[in-house]
Amino acid sequence: MLATFVIGLREGLEAALIVGIIAAFLKRNGHSLKSMWVGVVAAIVLSVGVGVILEVISVGLPQAEQEGMESIIGAVAVVMVTVMIVWMSKHARNMRTELEEVAGDALARGSVTALAVMAFLAVLREGFETSVFLLAAFQSSVNPLVAGAGAVFGLLLAVVIGYLIYRGGIRLNLGRFFTVTGVFLVLVAAGLVMSALRTAHEAGWIVIGQAATVDLSWLAPNGSVQAALVTGVLGIPADPKVIEVLGWSLYLVPVLLFVLWPHALRPGIRAYRVQFGIAATAAVAALVLFIAVPASGGASLPTSPLAIVLADGPQVGTAELAPTADGYELVSTVEGVATSTVLAAGAATSETRLGTDARTWSVTAQTVPTGVPSTVTLEQLGVLNGGRTPVGVNRAQNPGPFSAVWQVTLNEHVWVAGDTLLDATSDSVTTLSLSGGGLTAPRTVTVSGGTTAPESVSWTVDAQQSELVAVALADRVAATDEAALFRYYLPLVLAVAAIVLALFGARGIRAARRRSVGIDADLPDDTDLPNGDDGSGIQNPPVRTTISAHS
């Protein structure tokens, strides 16, 4: 509630001040306020409509798209509040003078409509900012109803203060007011940065930097006043992730310094020196991160063969993966007998196995088992068939023995993550092609037991080893993603910031040179500049402005 209250108060007061100054100016010059109020009401209606439309669109989307929409709204809200804070920091002290100059020019041209349009655009701008910012705050709040009540109270108080300023019943130090509320809004906007990054992850847009940092549940337990302040107002979750803390810091520190930096210590015309200095620092930091941070990391992956076991548990051999020119080769060794399965790269499909994205192969192969008899008796055939005489074999008419041709069909499933064997299973089906022994024609039967040939054994990779491999792979992916965050993405952000600051610095140099040329042309040689003048012809002593819009 506190966050939305301050948002409503701050944004509402900005609009109220502009409307109050325009109204006072119109009244002082004997003009009706009707057209101005039409513009104000129209802007309010449009602003409310924008908020409603955005909320309706967001609610109507599927879950992942809702998270993405919330991320976009949060990012737009952060940009809007930042631009508003910067603009008010520069113009709050001279707002009334600037507005009255524009209003005077409009009346000089005989256009009261222009002033109504000014009021409409001012309220519309603040209304759009308020709608988007409040919508983002509602989406990240625990109780939207309480958050809405805070926004309403803030807007009502802003209207009252604006009216009192218009009537001359209150004198407000706008510089101090906007500084204090600006600090609070910077903290709220930094929380929105964290919320937007979290919803972007939930939407599947951001997958890096998701490692845990600190546990703040002790600081803000659920249902406590601290939780309402830390999580509800400042938007800081109890379990912030790496990328969320990074985004929060990168936004909070520079914007908060901008808001709190004393006007008397601001560099003015020499700002380009500071801009170039910060740009150089950011560029050096980006280069150091790119060089110093390793490209990958995390736990080492298992390199030894994985154990393969029977359904009832005992280990019967090992399985390992070997790279080939066109994929991999799975070598499974069961009781000393090795079987090779070719895994062609083009035959793989994607699948999630043990929580890990993997490529999977389903391979069917046929082989002839070793160490099996070429002739079987009727009794042996019954044992091979699980104690029953196969269907189609009559004990009286087909007494045996039979000539047997053995064949094993292997159905193997293999999962590979990266270049690491994650899991594998092998299901075998053994068939006998029988002839002789009283059979009038060859007959094929499927047998389920009685043979111990290694090729006919069904097995699977040990589940515990597969889970250990999956954990190691997940740790490796997380470490690689985090390394990429600090080796590539953060240096990229710093490099872009350095370029932008350098461009502003270059523009500042050109502006300073133009001012210097103008001053040199106006001053005689060896003329001392006034005390405190830096050569720009403009002095910027600290000013404490108290504004009243009373006519």
Check residue 367 and give left, alpha or beta (phi > 0: left; psi -120 to 50: alpha): beta
Contact 350, 362 (CB under 8 A): no
DSSP state of 204: T
Q: Which of 461, 491, 515 is the last residue of a domain?
A: 461
Contact 551, 27 (CB under 8 A): yes
Tell me if 102 is assigned to some domain: yes
Contact 498, 286 (CB under 8 A): yes
Question: d(Cα 32, Cα 42) in Å, to the nearest integer?
Answer: 17
| Structure tokens given for 395 | 């004990």
Contacts of 228 (CB under 8 A, 6+ apart): 142
pLDDT at site 213:
87
Complete DSSP assignment for 291-330: HHS-S--SSPPP-SPEEEE-TTS-EEEEEEEEEETTEEEE
Tell me if 69 is assigned to some domain: yes
Handedness of CA 251, 253, 256, 258 (dihedral sign): negative
| Structure tokens given for 483 | 């390394």
pLDDT-based confidence at residue 529 (cuts at 50, 70, 90) = very low
pLDDT digits (tens, 9 = 90+) for 467-515: 988 888 888 888 888 888 899 999 999 999 999 999 988 988 888 788 7
Contacts of 78 (CB under 8 A, 6+ apart): 136, 189, 192, 193, 196, 251
The CA–CA distances, whole Å, from 107 to 17, 37, 118 equal 20, 17, 12
- Amino acid at the residue 361: W
State percent of the chain over pLDDT 70: 79
* Bridge partners (DSSP) listed for residue 423: 415
Maximal C-alpha separation, the chain: 133
- Amino acid at the residue 354: L
The CA–CA distances, whole Å, from 506 to 266, 270, 273 equal 18, 11, 10
Contact 78, 189 (CB under 8 A): yes
pLDDT digits (tens, 9 = 90+) for 186-199: 888 898 899 899 99
Question: d(Cα 22, Cα 40) in Å, to the nearest integer?
Answer: 11
pLDDT at site 284:
96
- Three-class secondary structure assignment of 515-545: HHHHHHHHCCCCCCCCCCCCCCCCCCCCCCC
- Amino acid at the residue 64: A
Tell me if 481 is assigned to some domain: no
Tell me if 517 is assigned to some domain: no
Question: d(Cα 8, Cα 48) in Å, to the nearest integer?
Answer: 13
Which of these ranges, 222-231, 442-451, 522-531, has the smallest mean pLDDT?
522-531
pLDDT digits (tens, 9 = 90+) for 241-272: 999 999 999 999 999 888 888 776 677 777 88
Tell me if 448 is assigned to some domain: yes
pLDDT digits (tens, 9 = 90+) for 367-412: 787 778 889 888 888 888 777 888 878 888 888 889 988 888 888 8
Question: d(Cα 356, Cα 471) in Å, to the nearest integer?
Answer: 9
Interior/surface letters 429-456, b for 16+ CB within 10 angstroms, e for the rest? bbebebeebebeeebebebeebbebbbb
Number of domains in the chain: 2
Beta strands in 452-542 (DSSP E): 459-461
| Structure tokens given for 198 | 């979290």
Contact 306, 426 (CB under 8 A): no
Residue among 11, 151, 2, 157 nearest 84 (CA)? 11
- Asked whether residue 167 falls in the same domain as residue 314, the answer is no
Q: Which of 409, 439, 461 is the last residue of a domain?
A: 461
pLDDT at site 424:
92
- Asked whether residue 173 falls in the same domain as residue 320, the answer is no
pLDDT at 316 over 90: no
What residues make up the domain containing 408?
307-461
Tell me if 205 is assigned to some domain: no
- Amino acid at the residue 282: A
Question: d(Cα 548, Cα 551) in Å, to the nearest integer?
Answer: 9
- Asked whether residue 180 falls in the same domain as residue 325, the answer is no
Q: Which of 411, 429, 461 is the last residue of a domain?
A: 461
Q: Is 363 helix (H, G, I), strand (E, B) or coil?
A: strand
pTM of the complete model: 0.65
Contacts of 516 (CB under 8 A, 6+ apart): 535, 536
How many CA atoms are closer than 13 Å to the CA of 368, on its beta-carbon side? 8
Tell me if 250 is assigned to some domain: no
Cα R_g (the chain), whole angstroms: 38
Which of these ranges, 198-207, 325-334, 389-398, has the smallest mean pLDDT?
389-398
Handedness of CA 510, 511, 515, 518 (dihedral sign): positive
Q: Is 544 helix (H, G, I), strand (E, B) or coil?
A: coil
Tell me if 484 is assigned to some domain: no
